[in-house]
Amino acid sequence: MTWNNFLLIFIASFFAACGTSGEKELDSPTRGQINMSVDENVQAITEELVEVFESSYTDAFLMTSYKNEKGVVSDLYNDSCRLAIMTRKLNKDELSYFEGQLKFGVEQIKIGSDAIVFVVNKSNPDSAFTKATIRKILLGQDTVWTQISPESKMGRIDVVFNNGASSNLRFLTDSLMDGQKPGANVFAMSNPDSVIAYVNRTPGAVGVIGLNAIGEKNSEAAMNRRKQITVCAIGADSVSAWKPSQSTIVTRQYPLVREIWIIKIGKRSGLGTGFASFALGERGQLIIQHAGLAPAAPAERKIELTTY
């Protein structure tokens, strides 16, 4: 071999090695790193799922960002992430954008159901409402408690959400308010804990949060939140009003139920696929069940009977 040939082989090998080392390693269903954008209204249950998933697969890293619903959708649009958790499926225009314009495959996987929860100050004797009353409160038609209970001494009704672009507000706007804007008595705080704190110190306030923030019976954080407020019962009438719980979500006796969806953009089977499979699998569904929510695919209970 001549010196020139050797030199050419060396140079080719050098650049090939540089190209290989510079390539980004693709994630797999159980290892790698990806970004995930999550609706802040399901932060509590997402944190539990991610913690168990990452502890089970120690080479897997889900870089999770919690935002309002509009922020999550924006992350999907600008390709900041291709995995998201939301309280709704993509709408027709969003789905068309990813499947048509960008030619991306889209998977939408229901992993459970949550509920919109109304909470009041512990001193407030009124904690059971009809859907019609809730609608009037949200639209600013009922602004003082005497409009609901003539003997009430609670004063003005303030309604507080955790965010002005909250999926909670969007859900209620669509389902109860016929697309109308909320009344002047409705405003936003920064997160569910600030909503609970405001209701705790304001006798006439009504707070709106997700059940997953207070549903976990064994969670110290959820227990501390529950201690500060009273959870309201809601129904078609005062007789059929129910408080939100796992059982009333499943039976739909509680009327304000919304679903939790994993949105995966792209056809490749990577870490997003692995996490989605975990969340919908037996372990993930048990985590959702233990959080006081309704799992999409409840684990079967096997009971062995012994006869003598």
* Residue 116 predicted with pLDDT over 60: yes
pLDDT at 234 over 80: yes
Query: Is there a domain that residue 232 lies in?
Result: yes
CATH code for position 133:
3.40.190.10
pLDDT, position 246? 93
Identify the band that residue 24 occupies on the pLDDT scale cut at 50, 70 and 90: low
- Model pLDDT for residues 93-108, shown as the tens digit of each residue: 999 998 887 777 899 9
pLDDT top residue among 308 and 137: 137
**119 and 253 belong to one structural domain:** yes
**Whether residues 178 and 98 fall in one domain:** no
Decide: residue 257, CB within 10 A, 0-12 exposed, 13-18 middle, 19+ buried.
buried
Please check whether residues 251 and 232 belong to one and the same domain.
yes
Residue 109 and residue 232 in one domain: no
195 and 127 in a common domain: yes
Is the same domain home to 216 and 179?
A: yes
pLDDT classification of 6: cutoffs 50, 70, 90: very low
pLDDT score for 163: 83
Q: Are 212 and 293 in contact (CB under 8 A)?
A: yes
Say if 189 falls within a structural domain: yes
In a domain, residue 304? The reply is: no
Q: SS3 of 191, please?
A: coil
What letters, b where the CB count within 10 A reaches 16 and e where it falls short, cover 115-146? Answer: bbbbbbbeebeebebbbebbbbbbbbebbebe
Question: Are 57 and 150 found together in one domain?
Answer: no
Could you tell me if residue 157 is inside a domain? yes
Q: Which two tokens stand for residue 167?
A: 């999926």
Q: Is the residue at 306 inside a domain?
A: no
CA 225 to CA 213: how far, in whole Å?
A: 8
Q: Are residues 118 and 253 in the same domain?
A: yes
| Domain-embedded: residue 11 | no
Amino acid at 242: W
Residue of higher predicted confidence among 262 and 7:
262
Q: Between vectors from CA 211 to CA 207 and to CA 217, what angle results, nearest 5°?
A: 120
pLDDT, one tens digit per residue, over 48-79 is 999 999 999 999 999 999 999 999 999 999 99
Which one has a higher pLDDT value, 25 or 118?
Answer: 118
Bigger pLDDT: 299 vs 192: 192
Q: Is residue 15 part of a domain?
A: no
Domain shared by 249 and 271, yes or no: no
Same domain? 222 vs 183 = yes
pLDDT of residue 299: 60
Give pTM, 2 decimals: 0.85
Consecutive H or E run containing 67: strand 60-67
Q: Taking all residues of the chain, what is their mean pLDDT, rounded to a whole number?
A: 87
Q: What pLDDT does 27 receive? A: 87
Q: Are residues 239 and 271 in the same domain?
A: no
Q: How many domains does the structure of the chain reveal?
A: 2
Burial (CB count <10 Å: 0-12, 13-18, 19+), residue 186: buried
Looking at residue 1, its pLDDT comes to 53
Query: For residue 23, is it within any domain?
Result: no
Residue-range definition of the domain harbouring residue 270: 32-113+259-295
**Residues 95 and 147 both lie in one domain:** no
List, in sequence order, the alpha helices (H) in 152-255. Answer: 167-175, 192-201, 220-228, 246-250
Q: At 297, is the pLDDT very low, low, confident or very high (cuts 50, 70, 90)?
A: confident
Per-residue pLDDT band at 284 (split at 50, 70, 90):
very high
Compute the average pLDDT of residues 116-131: 95
pLDDT band at 195 (very low <50, low <70, confident <90, very high): very high
Radius of gyration (C-alpha) of the chain in whole angstroms:
24
